[in-house]
Amino acid sequence: MEDDENQHIILNRIRTPDNNILTSRYSHEHVRHTQADGFIYAVGGGTEALYRSHTNDAHLSLYDDAPHEDVREGFFWISRGEGRRKISALRELPTEHIQAILDTQKLAKWRRDIFKAELYFRHKVCRQRSNGNKND
């Protein structure tokens, strides 16, 4: 299991000078883009490490200590089944799927905490909506 004392990458993303967004979602995914001027920009390492081809690109990465509203947009889960692989942002996962992940998957504590925070977030939003958007 991973060390839960440190800050963890949940989104590995850059913006190139010509405004392209490059995202590496898993450790062996390396994404590259060649600009019109011939410069090649690349990002890799997924949530394990921040690999960059240049230092002058805009870093858009997120860490697990970001506000939950940002985490739910930038944390991705890969679902596998029936010979397919689907990548979904946390906010897109059905609540039942999140609960099944918590019930069946061996996760690092920081990842488990993100899923639990999403369930709490959804519960809180539902309560606020049912109370007419009043504060809890």
Q: What is the pLDDT of residues 81-97, one digit of tens each?
A: 788 888 899 999 999 99
Cα 20 to chain centroid distance, Å, stands at: 18
Q: Which helix (H) or strand (E) holds 7?
A: none
CA distances to 50, 58, 60, 98 from 16, rounded to whole Å, are 15, 7, 10, 33
For residues 73 and 66, give the distance between their C-alpha atoms in angstroms, rounded to a whole number: 11
CB distance 6 to 18 below 8 Å: no
For residues 10 and 19, give the distance between their C-alpha atoms in angstroms, rounded to a whole number: 21
Domain boundaries, the chain: 9-63, 68-130
Q: What is the pLDDT of residues 38-84, one digit of tens each?
A: 999 999 999 999 998 877 768 899 999 999 999 999 999 988 878 88
For residues 25 and 22, give the distance between their C-alpha atoms in angstroms, rounded to a whole number: 10
Q: What angle do CA 63, 67, 68 make, to 5 degrees?
A: 95
pLDDT at 1: 46
Q: For the whole model, what pTM was predicted?
A: 0.81
CB distance 74 to 120 below 8 Å: no
